[in-house]
Structure 1
């Protein structure tokens, strides 16, 4: 029997670090604008607690964490609290994402329609309405190196057409092994089973690692029937410190999963491409 929405409890995390208050407020308002029972955890990794002023609703819990253990570790704090509070679903939400009323309800309906679904991500748009290509295959070292350091657009475009599954048209429901961490609607029991994010990743590619682990047992779905907006500033392209963290995460990922002899990557990517083409 399908579970009633009124019986469902959804938690969410936003990890903060010196963010623009107005931008974060839009994300908070988007999540709280629902009749479903919800609770939001703000994990503030900033040096000061000036963002505490964002707590303006009884459904918000604020935790100041100035040691700044990283993006994934910050989310793990809230994931543990979500597990203890017995939430049914947990939304991993970026502070620069916002969306219309009804998105949570649609994702809940879809997630409840199939017990084998572990994570769902909606279509992600830039504020101007253009698509962000947030569905990806499992990367090779060449994929990530070329995308970040090779200045030839034609080479990048050819690689991205495959790597970002642009050939799909982004209009199909697809089982994808690498979903963006900007918006992940997760079954809380699945996060508990896999232990949340791997805290070896301080920032960048923790979403790849988590999706890949979950994808090995559950469906990790792209659901384009609803959309969210993501400002997405590509901070590592502008900040040398973040670029170093980006590169370190690349090494962390490939040291964990394999560099050029990741045979599971080959099998998974072939299967994903085949399934997308069969959808038509």
Structure 2
């Protein structure tokens, strides 16, 4: 294999400064690596860092979606490395982070997917490990009033796995798509992102499929920072995209009768 790891980054009219921080974070790694940047913007993004020989840019000329764009990258490079990283264009991490994740995966061959500890840029922790969602979980989190969320606080805390000790590693069947460190053999076994999800829920779906065959683990010894824009709370078109993806997810896996969801969540 040509590289220790590869990574893919999907961009769409992103802030150049934030994007530069993400690319720089990857390029700080001493591991032999390659970064595929899939540009869904209407016009090609110009950034000097993208000229680095470790970067390869693909201009799609249209917004093909988050999962579909990552798939374009992964189909090109899955034979080139043992591990692959999904990056959001608003994450940052210190030098050495990828090396620590790489070493941990090397020591634990039963792990198919890792998520490090995540905070926002102010240092506030983000709880991005979750049990498999039921429709009510998503409905309350997205549309519930503060009063309703207070009533269902215990349920939401359970869904976000707040009952777990976030200072220690643990398994979670749903790990956030902001940063996904995959074993390539896991992707070869379960497949790539389901392109029926244009945006949102594709990370739940893929995490779940990997969890069927491998451990999917939260690993707090490595820390990343994530902007976490929550754009579906600010733009109606993204809210509708989120709703469409949620409907497709539950159509695929089951709305109120999902035996696998019940078993996985019970086991955790």
Category of TM-score, reference length = shorter chain: over 0.9
Contact 1:13/1:42 (CA < 8 Å) preserved in 2?
yes
Displacement of 1:157? 3.1
Number of the residue aligned with 2:144: 150
Number of the residue aligned with 1:126: 120
Where do residues 1-280 of structure 1 align in structure 2 (5 Å cutoff)?
9-51=4-46, 53-84=48-79, 86-151=80-145, 152=147, 153-272=149-268
Contact 2:2/2:81 (CA < 8 Å) preserved in 1?
no
Displacement of 1:155? 2.9
Change (3 A) 1:269 1:150: same
Q: Structure 1: where are the runs of 5+ without partners?
A: 1-5, 273-280
Structure 2 counterpart SS, 1:167: coil
Change (3 A) 1:191 1:41: same
Deviations 1:149-200 (A, max 9, x none): 1112413533221000112131121111000000000012221222210000
**How far, CA to CA, are the matches of 1:76 and 1:25 in structure 2?**
22
Runs of 4+ more than 6 Å apart: none
Report the aligned-residue RMSD: 1.5
Displacement of 1:93? 0.4
Structure 2 counterpart SS, 1:34: coil
Contact 2:3/2:34 (CA < 8 Å) preserved in 1?
no
